[in-house]
Each structure stands twice: as structure tokens, then as C-alpha cells.
Amino acid sequence: MSRNLIVAANWKLNKGPAEAEAFLDTFIPKVDAFAGSADIVIAAPFVTIPALAAKLAGNNRIAVAAQNCSEQESGAFTGEISTAMLKEVGAQYIITGHSERRSIYGESDALINAKNKKILAEGLKPIFCIGETLEEREGGQLESVLRTQITEGLKDIDSLEDVVVAYEPVWAIGTGVTATAEQAQDTQKFVRSVIAELYDQATADAVRIQYGGSVKPGNAGELLGQEDIDGALVGGAALEADSFFGILENSAQ
């Protein structure tokens, strides 16, 4: 089954509009000259999205993403941003379930599920993150943790056509410790098997599963060359245009 790679930058709490524009000044010409077919996504802070979207207007190779959204439509929810607002300013994807949102901001599987449903109802695409802590992996809970996150996060979602899943072992995020290609492949094969159980084999074969956690130009080729790894969600190494482009280049199919 061939699935087009999807390589996404998650800038986290980095880059206001001016820095983002400077990044694109270097990055866009590289992508223009690049023959690879991967879908490219940049997830920026909310206030940076309009500048990114303006600079990428008419560019059909690089899509814009948000890193979070409200599960609510509108109303008295101070500090929240709706999917409709994000769509209006040019976001096409929204990250959900990132481990930093789960652990630092206490987001539950139920909240993440509500966000996934809201994003899909808005006609946008969730990049739905799952992943285990080192303690959970070493304690033999890897499969049960992932199974729960997948089952609860995708509850009552009929089609995965617009859903991207990102497997990010928490112990590999921002630590410089990458899962080995074998560990990532084995786990992502398991993730796909859970999706086949919950949906069907055709859905599991079609859904794209990214790997995230200390991906860099030097390890992207091996990781993204694995059968069940269909792209990357990149944090630190996506902050510099050369390094993010190096990941794309080294993972070209």
C-alpha cells in the first residue's frame, strides 16, 4: 500500500510572524526546487498563522496548521480559539493530543476526541498524537496505553480519510533520544492493527501514521523508510529551514 509521506513542522512556542516569514524566505525556494512528493505542513503559534497563510497563498505544496483549538463553537470560553477562526485565517490541519497538551495542560482522551470531531466537522484535518511514557513502555503498558488513546480519541469518528495519526513516544520528544527505526516500526504496525480492529483493513492501510521524537536529517531516511512510518512530526529540527528541508530531502520516496 503506498501512502504519500506527510512531513510536518511543529514550531511549538517559537516563531512570531516576522521569524516565520524569514524561515519561509529560505524554505520556499528549496521546496520549489525539490522533486519529492511529500505533503509538507507547518504548525505555527496562533498569531503566526495569518502571516504564514499570506506568504503561502497559492502555494499548494506547503500547508498551514494550528497546534491546538477549542472543542467549543463560540461563547464564554476565555482564551480559546475556534476551528472556524482557524479555518478563516488559513489553517488546514490542527494538532491534537500532543503529549505536551496531555501532560502540561491535563487534556483528557475525551477532550481530545471532542477536538478531533470539531476539527473534522469544520472540514479541517486533525494530526492526532498518541504516545507512551518511558515508565509505561518499561512497565509493559505500551499496547494498552496506545489502544486506549486511539479508541477514545477516535470515538464516534466514522471515517479516517482526513485524519493523520502521529505516534510520538514521550521519552523521545525533545530529548535527542530517538526510538530506533525497529521500535518505531513495530509500534506503528501495532497502531495500524488497532485501527484495523476498530475500523477495517482498508482504513488501516490508508491512514497515514507519522513518527515524532527527535527526528533530524540524519535519522529521517531510516525512520521514514519503514513500512508503517508515513512521515514525521518534527519539533526542534524544524526550527531551521535547512534542517527541516534536510529531513524532507533525506526522506524522499
Ligand X SMILES: O=C[C@H](O)COP(=O)(O)O
Amino acid of residue 175: T
236 is in an annotated binding site: yes
Which of 6, 57 has the CB closer to ligand X? 6
Q: What are phi and psi of 196, to 5 degrees?
A: -65, -40
Q: Which three cell numbers stand for residue 165?
A: 495519526
Nearest Cα to Cα of residue 8 among 165, 208, 162, 232: 232
**Residue closest to ligand X when measured from CB atoms:** 235
Distances (CA, A) of 60 to 47, 93, 143: 22, 14, 37
CB of 196 to ligand X, least distance (A): 25
Catalytic residue among 98, 122, 132, 136: 98
Based on the residue annotation, tell me whether 222 is a catalytic residue of this protein.
Answer: no
Which of 153, 236 has the CB closer to ligand X? 236
Nearest Cα to Cα of residue 243 among 221, 217, 225, 219: 217
Helix locations, 105-214, DSSP H: 109-121, 134-138, 142-153, 181-198, 201-206
DSSP 231: E
214 is in an annotated binding site: yes
171 is in an annotated binding site: no
CB of 203 to ligand X, least distance (A): 24
CB of 103 to ligand X, least distance (A): 11
99 is in an annotated binding site: no
CB of 73 to ligand X, least distance (A): 27
Question: Cβ-count burial of 62 within 10 angstroms (0-12 exposed, 13-18 middle, 19+ buried)?
Answer: middle
Q: Whole-angstrom Cα distance, residue 189 to residue 167?
A: 11
16 is in an annotated binding site: no
E-strand stretches of the chain? 6-10, 39-44, 62-66, 93-96, 125-130, 164-167, 208-212, 231-234
139 is in an annotated binding site: no
Which of 100, 109 has the CB closer to ligand X? 100
CB of 168 to ligand X, least distance (A): 5
List interacting residues with ligand X (CB under 6 A): 10, 98, 168, 173-174, 212-215, 233-237
Q: Whole-angstrom Cα distance, residue 27 to residue 8?
A: 13
Which of 24, 173 has the CB closer to ligand X? 173
Based on the residue annotation, tell me whether 122 is a catalytic residue of this protein.
Answer: no
Which of 165, 200 has the CB closer to ligand X? 165
Q: Which residues are catalytic?
A: 98, 168
Report the binding-site residues: 10-12, 174, 214, 235-236
Report the binding-site residues for substrate: 10-12, 174, 214, 235-236
